[in-house]
Amino acid sequence: MEQKADNNFGYSDTVMDHFSNPRNVLKVAEEEYEASGVGMVGNPTCGDMMKIWIKVDKGEKISDLKWKTFGCASAIGSTSMMSEMVTENGGMKVDEALKLKPQDIMDRLGGLPSIKIHCSVLGDKALRAAIHDYYKKTGREDLIDEKKAVLVCECLNVTDKEIEEEVLEGVSDFETLQERTKISTGCGKCKEHATELFEGYRAKYFG
């Protein structure tokens, strides 16, 4: 792992390289790019938005990936790196790209400041959305893994989906999860199950 330079605000040299010279940014008009799938997450009015376009070849490999974002160095650097990882060596198979984790991208970048981890998942979320869009366009909605939210904390009405989203936003300990969602602060009966879910999502995305 690379040493982080103080003058880079805690970012590795690799992150700064991808931030200063981002790879695979969409440079043509959106309507001119013939994408197999398009995914967008976030809201530009809130300051964080990511849009990704993918091209899938006959062998189910992602042959090209373009992106645009309104985001910080973490969002730009991590998405630039992800675009290289997905398309290098002829491109990842679509199902393999779905298994790509934010931690895999951060490892290639040489790490990210802990307070910026939530920014780095924008690209990952948008890629998944683009692949799901591709599945819909090719009549394979059955391949989309979209589970219905399950209620975990009845007292505070917190679902497993909310726990997962908090993990993807960078929450790294259960106490912070409680502060943000109030989960298990009522009767407390759900705490053991909630903790297991939380740790499971941490392992899934960052383990």
What tokens does 91 get?
A: 């491109």
The pLDDT of residue 169 is 82
Residue 44 reports pLDDT greater than 70: no
Closest CA to 66 of 81, 44, 51: 51
Same domain, 63 and 156: no
**Residue 93 pLDDT level (bands cut at 50, 70, 90):** very high
Query: Does 108 have pLDDT greater than 50?
Result: yes
Q: Which of 143, 162, 182 is the last residue before a domain boundary?
A: 143
Average pLDDT on 126-137 reads 96
Poorest-pLDDT segment among 10-14, 39-43, 45-49: 45-49
* Domain C-terminal end among 91, 126, 143: 143
Look at residues 25, 26, 27, 8 and name the one whose alpha carbon lies nearest to residue 74: 8
- By annotation, the residues acting in catalysis are 46, 119
Is there a single domain that holds both residue 157 and residue 125? Answer: no
Across-strand partners of 66? Answer: 53
Q: Residue 202: give the domain boundaries.
A: 151-206
Residues 98 and 76 in one domain: yes
